[in-house]
Chains A and B, each alone.
Chain A
Amino acid sequence: MLFQNLTRSSGARRVGAVAALTLSVALIATGCASTETPGETGGDANLAITFVPKNLGNAYFDTSDKGGADAIAEFGGTYDEQAPAEGSPDGQVSFINTLTQQQVGGLVVSANDPTAICDALNEARESGIKVVTFDSDTDAECRDIFINQATGEGIAKIQVDLIAEQIGDEGEIAILSATANATNQNAWIELIKADLAANHPNIKLVDVVYGDDDDQTSFDKTAALLQTYPNLKGIISPTTVGIAAAARYLQTSDFKGKVALTGLGTPNQMRDYVTDGTVTAFALWNPADLGYLAAYAAKALIEGDITGAEGDEFDGGKLGKYTVGENGTVLLGDPYTFNADNIADFNF
């Protein structure tokens, strides 16, 4: 009997130990977390809208998502933000799946790849969730509306014009992009190439490198570019993470002032570099407005005011009324140039 006592107690102890551990851990975690899912409001419309940007820790998306949060606060919905830490094509899928399970009202997504999240988005739409893309689109059949910050041509042209001006319209340039699959990046790079071929025959694009929207990678890639191409005269970086990292490298290197840098950046990140001359001018739009408009578009879809068809009109809050263009695209406005004269006026 002694043997049996031993077995029972140690075995039971084992069961007890592991079970108690798991139980307590699970209870603590669920207790700490909110077990309320993004709320279902009392009325018919489920105005729980979640923003799914490309990745976390990105100043550009911090601003745009905050704009969205402001809009959602205005019309009384619930705001949430979910994103992977790294901008990989399929990183957003598990978050979208969870949000589908949680039955939110609307998703506002900036996609890392035009097709990888399509199936997840369509599953969400099948279960009644409205999908708005902004900043970086997916294929048109996976979403209801796309909020475009500016025309691709406009964005490409302004960067090419800036770099041409800064290097005297001739010489070698390179592009420091974000992730290799990002829809918006690839669209703009193609348009940049087209613009260079048509209007700037003396400027040669020698390389396109990818910083993956990661600060350290963009920093190291800039260093590599400057090493590999000794005659490089300019760098275009159409991503706010890339241009900030490249500027930081240039600021402490021998090439400061000799290699021009432009692209899309946020005023707060770039202020130092514009003030000390590392960067002359760069462009962007107002990301907060972009997020704001996307939230209002989601609201209009959820409440059934529009379906995303061409010609639909919806209320964009303080931005006024907007009309849906072809392919379900809504245009926010035009890009804007920042330089030493006006950079002090902005705070984002």
Chain B
Amino acid sequence: MTTQTTTTQSSFGTRVLHGAGNFAKARETGILIAFVLVVVAATVKNPNFLFSNDGFRDLLLTPSILLLVAVGQAVVIITRNVDLSVGSTLGLSAYLTGRLFIDFPGIPILAVFLIGILFGGLLGLVNGALVAFARVPALVITLGTLYIYRGINVWWTGSDRINASDMPKDFLALGTQQFFSIPVLTIIALVVLIAAGWYLRNQRGGRELYAIGSDPGAANLYGLKVTQRVLVAFVVCGALAGLAGVLYAARYGTINSQAGSGFELEAVGAAVIGGVAIFGGSGTVWGAAIGAFLLFTINRALPILGVQDFWQRAVVGVLIIGAIVLDRVLSLRQSRKLVEARDN
């Protein structure tokens, strides 16, 4: 972050300009611009993409589920870990939602939401405990729990399937309902995003996560409660995946044992594209959110632009690599600047 020799009478105008400058240079802005470009290109080709009711609704709705998972993933990646089991957590939570409605008819929808979040948080706690206490790299642990949770999901589901008709109509309506033409699911996701962004930036706990990711050894010596914070990060990630599972059930209505498989890599991809460095210590959840939107919108825009949507995954791969190369170049440049500043 640039330090500024402050004059006590910096005018409001200068501050606004300075803020605008920071905004323009921010990593997240680049992604936002890319997102806007994609939407514009697709809308030019087919105005229904943005301007029809369905188009606008789908534009905001479909990425909302990934947004939640990406925000949780970003929190974990900031602490220099990774959580590969979120897809399986989402699937389990979605199936649990369906089962709750079937086995307990009349259960209040709010209760289902709460149970889904708690359940996800519990699964995240398992991950966090193993990572924080056994000091094993998160990659390995979450690889194992990815297998285990998905296996439990398939075992529990058997060859069954939750159908849309098994769930109450008002729950399913959440999947498409709009509030002042913004889908309800998107509003939920945005509320979570704002809460997470605020916490990470303005609260002590949030800023400590950045410290732990930048240099775990130093954070430990400094007296930060590393174990506790990492544990909480994983619980949050799991809880958000659980919430995403409930939303998935509301949106798609049909849940089989494969729900959510592949989401973990999309979430990591969204976070990385959005500027969250895989080495921890930098990036924001806003970036991860925009990354999630970008990924899903590209998926929908490609067929309109005439590109077979089979190429979507390749585009995602190029974006991820481009993002980390860009991060590397920027960080090299910044460290060079800091060295110059120090030496002068």
Contact = CB atoms under 8 A, between A and B. Distances in A.
A59 B161 contact: yes
A345 interface: no
B102 interface: no
Contacts of A137: none
Nearest to B42: A227
A294 B304 CA distance: 44
B253 interface: yes
B49 interface: yes
Contacts of B309: 224
A228 B46 contact: yes
Interface string B34-48: 000000000000101
Interface string B239-267: 00000000000001110111100000000
B159 interface: yes
A85 interface: yes
Contact of A223 (B58, B154, B253, B254): B58
Contact of A224 (B175, B254, B300): B300
A56 interface: yes
A255 B254 contact: no
B53 interface: yes
Nearest to A223: B58
Given A227-B55, A253-B54, A269-B163, A86 B258 contact: yes
Contact of B157 (A57, A58, A226, A269): A57
Interface string A220-241: 1001101110100000000000
B140 to A, nearest CB: 16
A85 B46 contact: no
A31 B238 CA distance: 33
Given A57-B157, A219-B252, A252 B176 contact: yes
B303 A228 contact: yes
A81 B58 CA distance: 38
A213 to B, nearest CB: 10
A214 B255 CA distance: 10
A216 interface: yes
Contacts of B103: none
A254 interface: yes
A228 B257 contact: no
B32 interface: no
B217 to A, nearest CB: 28
B82 to A, nearest CB: 25
A215 B254 contact: yes
A57 B46 contact: no
Interface in B211-243: none
Contacts of A71: none
Contacts of A245: 254
A81 B159 CA distance: 10
Contacts of A59: 161
A248 interface: yes
Contacts of B300: 223-224, 227
Contacts of A224: 300, 303, 309
A196 B337 CA distance: 68
Interface string B138-170: 000000000000000010010111011100000
A157 B75 CA distance: 55
Contacts of A315: none
B52 interface: yes
B52 A57 contact: no
A57 B159 contact: yes
Given A227-B300, A228-B304, A56 B159 contact: yes
Given A219-B252, A227-B55, A272 B46 contact: no
B46 to A, nearest CB: 7
Interface of B: 46, 48-49, 52-55, 58, 62, 154, 157, 159-161, 163-165, 175-176, 252-254, 256-259, 300, 303-304, 309
Given A248-B253, A254-B54, 7 more contacts: A215-B254, A216-B254, A219-B254, A223-B58, A223-B300, A227-B304, A252-B175
18 contacts: A57-B161, A57-B257, A58-B161, A59-B161, A85-B256, A214-B256, A216-B254, A216-B259, A219-B252, A223-B300, A224-B303, A224-B309, A227-B46, A227-B304, A228-B303, A244-B254, A254-B52, A254-B53
Enumerate the 9 nearest inter-chain pairs by beta-carbon distance, A residue then B residue, closest first.
A57-B256, A215-B254, A56-B159, A57-B161, A252-B176, A253-B54, A228-B303, A254-B54, A254-B53
